[in-house]
Structure formats: C-alpha cells, structure tokens
Amino acid sequence: MNYEISKEPINIQSVIDKVVQREAGAITTFIGTVRELTHGKKTLYLIYEAYESMAVKKLEQIGQEIEERWPGSEVAISHRVGKLDITDVAVVIAVSTPHRADAYEANRYAIERIKEIVPIWKKEHWEDGQEWIGNQKETVSYPTGKPEEADLHE
C-alpha cells in the first residue's frame, strides 16, 4: 500500500520506509502542512475530503508516471482527510532514486500532479466563514474545472 488516503495522522517514517531500496542513493521527503495565513487571512482549521477510491488510483498513476520518467525510482504518498489544525501534516511524499537530483525533481513532480488530478478538496474555515477551495494551481486551464488533456493520460 504505497498510496493511501488516511483518516488518522500520517506516520512520516512509515511513508519513508516504503521507498527504502538498496539501489537508492537518495530519498527525498515532502511534508505538506496546514498554514495559518494565506494572503493575510487567518485559517482556523481545514477539512480535507477525498473521493477515496479514485484518489488512490490517481496517486498510483502519479507513482507510475514517476517510475517511467525517473527509472529506478520508488514512490509512496499518504494524504490525510478529515479535520486538520494549523501545522498538522496533510500530505507526505517519499521518493527514492539512485541519484539525488532525480529524487528532488520527482518529488516536486508528485506534489504538482496531486494538485492537478487527485480528487481531494479542502474546506477552509476562517473566523468569519468557510469555503471550499479549488484550483490552487491557478493554471490557465483549470479555472474551467478541467485538467488539461495531457494531465489526464500522460
């Protein structure tokens, strides 16, 4: 189970352990955390929601894309759902590769792809209200709600 949607706090070390391999010279870990201030506005907490079965499939797809682009890589991703407080861990991505440059690049690729194609949503709760957030990537295409064709199939 290298790709998980978790209702419980993510054990960071357990995600890293999944990509340990004798061929690796590097493991990079990305830990996404809940930020208090966004454009000066204070977040109290977040609710993350997922279309869980599809989200796991899309995380697996991202892993496959990485293994094709960076041969010899291994990937594990866990994304949290439910209520998260400020500083809580929302996502952990671990990538191991034979050489360090690939581990950094592939890990960055994973988080950008999560923001494009994985059906997970966050609801921000502020002191004065709440709102579902969409389109964090602020790409040209996504305001229409559609990932680019290439995003879906590559």
Partner 1 sequence: MNKVLFFAHLRDAVGEESVEVEAAGKTIAELKQQLAEAHGIQKLDAVMAAVNEEFADDDEVIKEGDTIAFIPPVSGG
Contacts of partner 1 in 89-128 (CB under 8 A): 90-91, 111, 114-123
User: Any contact of residue 31 with partner 1 (CB under 8 A)?
Assistant: no
Residue 119: which residues within 8 A CB-CB, separation 6 or more? Answer: 50, 51, 54, 55, 58
Place of tokens 């792809």: 113
User: Any contact of residue 148 with partner 1 (CB under 8 A)?
Assistant: no
Site string for partner 1, 46-85 (x = CB under 8 A): --xxxx-xxx-x---------------------x------
User: Any contact of residue 129 with partner 1 (CB under 8 A)?
Assistant: no
CA distances from 59 to 4, 35, 69, 111, 130 (A): 8, 23, 15, 10, 27
- Which residue ranges make up the site for partner 1 (CB under 8 A)? 32, 48-51, 53-55, 57, 79, 90-91, 111, 114-123, 132-136, 142-147, 152
